[in-house]
Structure 1
Amino acid sequence: MSALIEARGLTIHRPGSAETVLRDVDFRIDPQEIVTVVGPNGSGKSSLVRALLGHMPLAAGHVARRPGLRIGYVPQRVQIDTAMPMTVRRFLSLPRRINDAEARTALERTGVHGIDRRQLAQLSGGQFQRVLLARALLHRPHLLVLDEPTQGLDQPGIVAFYQLIADLRRDTGAAVLMVSHDLLVVMRASDRVVCLNGHVCCEGTPEHVSTAPAYRALFGAEAQGALALYRHHHDHAHDDGCLADDGRGHAARTHHA
């Protein structure tokens, strides 16, 4: 299969009930692609990710993963007992022991070199997110999956984190699947956006999704701001000769309930 992960007709019920969280979702992510899933609270974003990873049962449909696919996962929440001493270095060796060189390289890659002996409880929110990302990179994943990776970060921290993700894609060749509510930054950071609200409302390039009626209906004025930021970045990147067509030819599609 050419895709890293592909889902067809995916339907998910809320655990322990017949309530439908997602219905009839088609999804795929290709090598070296950055895809971001957006949607309001309760729209099924995290459920989609868990189903794609095989952590949630399907009511209908199927998910196919490329044989031998290595996935690095940064979950939405990680509970750390601050009363228990735990250094960054020790955390990186859970559950698989790694050597000092591997730990140092991973931390350097995510911009937090030199904190390996610090306690997790002493880290800022931004540092902790980068440590989680370093841990996800240790197994040289083909796909990075990030579920709301910038929760608790301020706006400069959010922008810096998404720039780091773009750099990692370029340097490692890994594809990136993100769940995010940071519309103003997502439009600048993604190759393709998938908008959920219990089903796929619309999908395509950031510019196409931003102008889709379903997207505007869900996000209103914030959608307009995201489009303005995307166009600003897009135009300036062309002026500097930095942004070119990625050659994937993804077309926007609008889906009806």
Structure 2
Amino acid sequence: MGDALIEARGLTINRPGTSEPVLSRVDFRIRPGEIVTVVGPNGSGKSSLIRALLGQMALAGGTVDRRRGLRIGYVPQRVQLDTAIPMTVRRFLSLPRRVTDAQAQEALDRTGVAGLGARQLTQLSGGQFQRVLLARALLSDPHLLVLDEPTQGLDQPGIVAFYQLIEEVRRQTGAAVLMVSHDLLVVMRSSDRVVCLNGHVCCEGTPQHVSTAPEYLALFGAEAEGTLALYRHHHDHDHDHDHDRELEAGHLHRPGCNHGQGPEPTAASR
């Protein structure tokens, strides 16, 4: 694994009960301190990749290796709340593992919602609830934060503010961040590396390079045109590895990417 926190090789996942691949032969890795964002159209396998990396999905092929003792903080795509059950933010932070008042307050302070401990969850705005979820994920002092579409339902200012918070959390804690996102413009400003997925890895690299990749432009069309203009992120840390130099030299195109038509057929299916 080298210094990777998680590394997948040849990862293949089939749709339940079928031999039809959701993801085919995906290679992926994330290192300490990186912010890596996975983008792709609906149905491209983004959430399936996250679940497989977390060990929540069976693999049809390939391997996933995690660093021994790896601590992961997870912010899911959706959380269903039973509005009939009263629950304060403070109580929520102690589920499923009880934490002290000091630990809870520190996490809320770090995510910018210090005064919400006594508030009912049902009284929170969308942005406040996302910050509470992030605070809960930080309680485990994670090496890696995993966020699956963390800004769903937020308005544009809320989206920008949340990604700025993620960058600050990374700076303060040193945790790596793996995100699935559809917020293309903000992603290009907030990420160290972008992986463009459509059933397989079409291209990957720095945001600046991916935003001009033919595969990326073919998948997102007009929506992708403004991404380069918003790319303003500068590295404030060093990942001086061979793979990173390869990525910096240019985005990595994956052979056989057929611009949005899903994985190429295998020899057996032709």
With normalisation by structure 1, the TM-score equals 0.94
Alignment-derived partner of residue 265 in structure 2 = none
Give, in whole Å, the separation in 2 of the partners of 1:155 and 1:49: 25
Question: Is the contact between residue 8 and residue 26 of structure 1 (CA under 8 Å) also seen in structure 2?
Answer: yes
- Give the C-alpha shift of residue 245 in structure 1: 7.5
Give, in whole Å, the separation in 2 of the partners of 1:138 and 1:205: 30
Aligned counterparts, 1:5-24, within 5 A: 5-24=6-25
Alignment-derived partner of residue 261 in structure 2 = none
Give the residue type in structure 1 aligned to 2:48: S
Q: Tell me, what secondary structure is at the counterpart of 1:40?
A: coil
Give the residue type in structure 2 aligned to 1:170: R
Residues 159-202 of structure 1, C-alpha deviations (whole Å, 9 max, x = no match): 00000000000100000000000000000000000000000000
- Give the C-alpha shift of residue 116 in structure 1: 0.4
Give the residue type in structure 2 aligned to 1:128: F
Give the residue type in structure 2 aligned to 1:139: S
Aligned counterparts, 1:1-257, within 5 A: 1=1, 2-230=3-231, 233=232, 246-248=238-240, 249-251=245-247, 252-255=251-254, 256-257=256-257
- Give the C-alpha shift of residue 17 in structure 1: 2.0
Q: Tell me, what secondary structure is at the counterpart of 1:7?
A: strand
- Give the C-alpha shift of residue 16 in structure 1: 2.2
Alignment-derived partner of residue 240 in structure 1 = none
- Give the C-alpha shift of residue 204 in structure 1: 0.2
Q: Tell me, what secondary structure is at the counterpart of 2:18?
A: coil
Q: 1:36 to 1:96 in 2, by over 3 A?
A: same
With normalisation by structure 2, the TM-score equals 0.89
Q: Structure 1: which 4+ aligned runs deviate by more than 2 Å?
A: 243-250
Structure 1 unaligned runs (5+)? 238-242
Residues 47-93 of structure 1, C-alpha deviations (whole Å, 9 max, x = no match): 00000000000000000000000000000000001111010000000
Give, in whole Å, the separation in 2 of the partners of 1:103 and 1:88: 9
Q: Tell me, what secondary structure is at the counterpart of 1:162?
A: helix
Give the residue type in structure 2 aligned to 1:107: L
Give, in whole Å, the separation in 2 of the partners of 1:8 and 1:206: 23
Give, in whole Å, the separation in 2 of the partners of 1:41 and 1:155: 20
Give the residue type in structure 2 aligned to 1:110: T
- Give the C-alpha shift of residue 250 in structure 1: 5.0
Q: Tell me, what secondary structure is at the counterpart of 1:26?
A: strand
Q: Tell me, what secondary structure is at the counterpart of 2:177?
A: strand
- Give the C-alpha shift of residue 223 in structure 1: 1.1
Matched-pair identity in %: 77
Give the residue type in structure 1 aligned to 2:82: D
Residues 107-141 of structure 1, C-alpha deviations (whole Å, 9 max, x = no match): 00000001101000000000000000000000100
Structure 2 unaligned runs (5+)? 258-270
Give the residue type in structure 1 aligned to 2:40: G
Question: Is the contact between residue 205 and residue 250 of structure 1 (CA under 8 Å) also seen in structure 2?
Answer: no
